Amino acid sequence: MNITDVLNRATKHKARKRVGRGAASGQGKTSGSGEKGLGARSGANFLIGYVGGQKRLMERIPKRGFNNAVFAKTYAPVNLAMLEERFADGETVDLKTLADKGVTLRRSDKIKILGNGELSKKLTVKANAFSKVAIEKIEKAGGTAEVIK
């Protein structure tokens, strides 16, 4: 082995595979795609979980019982510490102002206020859900917690 062999291989990017350029390309007649079937076709697009001539795992598993995933309520959690640093004393906190201040990503999110952190400002907080600790801390600071639907 020579030092030139090392330097010739030490490149930042690997050269792309030039597929379908004949038998002398180093990939052989079928360009590394095997013989027949969907994987040998141009534009082959396998479904997720495709096994090839066998039932997919998700099709083999029995589907029984109830799954609550479709009906479950999901909330974007917002802690009191976030309200403390982003809102001034006397402000109203609702879905729109939370989205404007960058606390939540979308205005369509359902919000649940959690009691993590301290709150010293008097805020009127309107959200879809509150934890018990959050309600106590908001009312202790002199604010109000209103549940909206």
Letter for the amino acid at 25?
S
Q: What sections of the chain are H helices per DSSP?
A: 3-9, 57-60, 80-86, 95-100, 132-140
What integer is the mean pLDDT of 55-72?
89
Domains of the chain plus CATH, in order, are 17-64 (no CATH), 76-147 (3.100.10.10)
What integer is the mean pLDDT of 98-108?
79
Residue 8: band (very low, low, confident or very high) from pLDDT cuts 50, 70, 90:
low
What integer is the mean pLDDT of 36-55?
87
**Mean of the per-residue pLDDT values of the chain:** 88
Question: pTM here?
Answer: 0.56
C-alpha to C-alpha distance for 123 and 5, rounded to whole angstroms: 70
Query: Under 8 Å CB-to-CB from 73, ≥6 apart: which residues?
Result: 110
Query: Would you call 83 exposed, middle or buried from its count of C-beta atoms within 10 A (0-12, 13-18, 19+)?
Result: buried
Residue 107: band (very low, low, confident or very high) from pLDDT cuts 50, 70, 90:
low
- As a whole-number percent, the residues of the chain with pLDDT over 90 amount to 44
User: pLDDT of 84-93, one tens digit each?
Assistant: 999 999 999 9
> Is there a contact between 125 and 93 (Cβ–Cβ < 8 Å)?
yes
